[in-house]
Structure 1
Amino acid sequence: MSTRIILLRAVNVGPAQLPMAELREIAAELGATDVSTYIASGNLVADVPGRAAEFDRALEQAIEQRYGWFRDVISRTTAQLQKALDAHPFEVIEPKYSYVVFLTGKPSAEAIAKAETYETGDDDWRVIGTEMHIRYANGAGRPTMKSDSISRALKVPGTARNLNTVNKLIELAQ
C-alpha cells in the first residue's frame, strides 16, 4: 500500500455530481484504506493497493459504471505534490490565485509551442514536467488568458488545484 493523493477532474460541476462520501465508499470497495476527502471537488487521500495507475483506472471505471459519466483520475505521491509546489515558477501574491494543473502525462514540445501562441494578458502559465503552473493576476474567476484553450492545445488532460488546496492535501497525506 502506498499513500496517494488522488485528484478527479471536473466533478461536482454541472451534471457530474459525486458526493464525497460515495467517492470514499468506491475507493474503499477497490481496496483503498485510510480514505479521506478534502472539499467537494474530487480530492481523495488514501493508501491504495497495487500499482497506482491500476488503481486510478479502476476508480475511473467504477465511477463511470455507477454514474454513467467518465472523469479522469490523476494521482501523485505526497513527495510529487511537494515537488510540484516547490517548482511553482511564479511569485505567489495570493495562494488562491496560483494553481498547479496536474496533467495525465507530459505535453509534447510541439503542443507547448502551440499553447504559447495564445494571449495571456496579465496571467502567466508554464509547464514543468507533468504539471502546468498558472498564476492568475486577478483570480481564476476573472482570467485574462483562455486557460481552457491553452489546456486543449497541450493535448493532455489535467485538473487544477490552487496552492491552498495543494498545501492542505500535502498536510492531510503526511
Structure 2
Amino acid sequence: MPRRVVLIRAINVGGAKLPMADLRAMAEELGATNVSTYIASGNLLCDPPAATDEFDRALEAAITERFGYEREVISRSRDDLAAALDAHPFTVVDPKFSYVYCLTGVPSTAKAAEFEKRDFGDDELTVIGNDLHIRFAAGAGKSKLSAPVIAKGLGVQGTGRNLKTVRTLIDLADRD
C-alpha cells in the first residue's frame, strides 16, 4: 500500500486531546509502517496495512475507543494532495489563509452549488471533487465558514489544512 497522508478532524482543539505519540502508536498497532506525524493537529503519514478506507475506519474506531470522542479520519495520497494544491482556484495572497478542506466524500452537485452561492463575506470557496477550496479574507478564525457550517451545508464532514501545511505534507510524503 503506498504512503498515505491521514488527516484527523478537529484534533487538539476544543478539548479533543490526542498526543501525536499516541496517534503514531495506534497506527502501528493497526499494522501501519513508516509512521510519522507532523505538528500536533492530526497529520499522520504512514503506509497502511490494508485498503485505505478500511484503515481509516479502524483508526477512527481506535480513537473513539481510547479517547472517548469521535473524529473523522480522511486520507489522501501524496498525488491527491498535489492535485488539490494544483487545482486551488484562488489567488494565494498568504498561504496560511488559503485552504484545502478534504471532505469525507463528494457532496451532491446540488448541495455544492447551493453552498457556493452562500454569502460568507469576502471569503471565497468552491468545491472541486472531494475537496473544498477556501481563501479566507482575514483568516479561518475570523470566518463564519466553520466546520459545522461546512458539514451541514455540504452534507459531508471534512478537515482543512492551509496551503503551507499541504505543501509540507507533500514534501514529507516525498521523503519516504
Same fold (TM over 0.5): yes
1:9 matched to which residue of 2?
9
Mapped to 1, the partners of 2:118 and 2:146 lie a distance apart of 9
Task: Report deviation, 1:11.
Answer: 0.9
Residues 107, 130 of structure 1: 8 Å contact kept: yes
- Does residue 58 of structure 2 align to residue 64 of structure 1? no
Count of residues in Structure 1 that have an aligned counterpart in Structure 2: 173
Task: Report deviation, 1:50.
Answer: 1.6
Task: Report deviation, 1:113.
Answer: 2.8
Task: Report deviation, 1:112.
Answer: 1.4
Q: TM-score if structure 2 supplies the norm length?
A: 0.94
Task: Report deviation, 1:150.
Answer: 3.8
- Does residue 171 of structure 2 align to residue 171 of structure 1? yes
Q: TM-score if structure 1 supplies the norm length?
A: 0.95
Show structure 2 runs of 5+ residues with no match.
Answer: none
Residues 5, 78 of structure 1: 8 Å contact kept: yes
Task: Report deviation, 1:140.
Answer: 1.3
Show structure 1 runs of 5+ residues with no match.
Answer: none
SS in 2 for 1:160: strand
Percent of paired sites with the same residue: 57
Residues 116, 127 of structure 2: 8 Å contact kept: no
Task: Report deviation, 1:114.
Answer: 2.7
Residues 56, 75 of structure 1: 8 Å contact kept: yes
1:146 matched to which residue of 2?
145
More helix by share: 2
- Does residue 55 of structure 2 align to residue 55 of structure 1? yes
Residues 118, 150 of structure 1: 8 Å contact kept: no
Task: Report deviation, 1:13.
Answer: 1.2
Mapped to 1, the partners of 2:37 and 2:93 lie a distance apart of 27
Q: Which amino acid aligns with 2:65?
A: Q
Mapped to 1, the partners of 2:126 and 2:117 lie a distance apart of 13
SS in 2 for 1:71: coil
1:128 matched to which residue of 2?
128
Aligned ranges 1:32-111 → 2 under 5 Å: 32-111=32-111
Mapped to 1, the partners of 2:110 and 2:168 lie a distance apart of 34
Residues 8, 74 of structure 1: 8 Å contact kept: yes
